[in-house]
Amino acid sequence: MRHQKKTLKLGRTAEHRKALLANQVCSLIEHRRIKTTLAKAKAVRPLAERMVTLGKNGSLHARRNALSTLRHKDAVKKLFDEIAPASTERNGGYTRIIRLGQRKSDSAAMALLEWIDAPQVVEEKPAEEKKTKRKQAEPKPEKKAKRDEAKREEPPAQETPPSAPAPEEPKPKKRRWFGRKSAEEK
């Protein structure tokens, strides 16, 4: 039986797993939110919440414990100065996991892990006009410039008389897709 063995192993050795989780928590502290797989997000959450609890304590011993786990001075400083004070009224549940669906390459379940009480840093993009699916046929300026130069070089006496018919444009090629015949060919 597997009673009280709740460690998510993530297919890694103990040292690799410990380093991975510490790096994920440091990234979460630095960027306020991280996008990762659902399994990793569930494994990172308890460690991140433990670090916030140490940050709320604020003692030198708690700071040293956090530093021994995370191994990044900047992350520990930001945790104790910014993130932990924002969660003083909350008794646990400092993070939120938002499921994002499947990753295209390998169909792994993706999730967004973020702080609940951290100030929202929203990057608003200016509203862009919706682009049409197909571009309208517009003459390219380079070709137009070449045409203008060609007209300037030609002497005006060689112009075709107005009664002569204009040369016909070639018909577009008929395309066959995977052996299907178009309506015109049937």
Q: Which domains are assigned to the chain?
A: 14-115 (3.90.1030.10)
Contact present, 21 and 47 (Cβ < 8 Å): yes
- 55-99: per-residue pLDDT in tens? 999 999 999 999 999 999 999 999 999 999 999 999 999 999 999
Q: Is pLDDT of 135 > 90?
A: no
Percent above pLDDT 70 for the chain: 66
The DSSP 8-state label assigned to residue 177 in this structure reads S
Using DSSP's 3-state secondary structure scheme, residue 102 falls into: strand
Give the pLDDT confidence score for residue 180 in this predicted structure.
59
Contact present, 114 and 32 (Cβ < 8 Å): yes
Alpha carbon of residue 25 to chain centroid:
19
What is the secondary structure of 59-106 as a DSSP string? -HHHHHHHHHHH--HHHHHHIIIIIHHHTSS--S--EEEEEEEE-TTT
pTM value is 0.63
Give the pLDDT confidence score for residue 105 in this predicted structure.
94
Q: How many contiguous H segments (helices) and E segments (strands) does the chain have?
A: 6, 3
Token pair belonging to 31 = 């960027």
Contact present, 111 and 99 (Cβ < 8 Å): yes
- 32-60: per-residue pLDDT in tens? 999 999 999 999 999 999 999 999 999 99
Token pair belonging to 182 = 């178009």
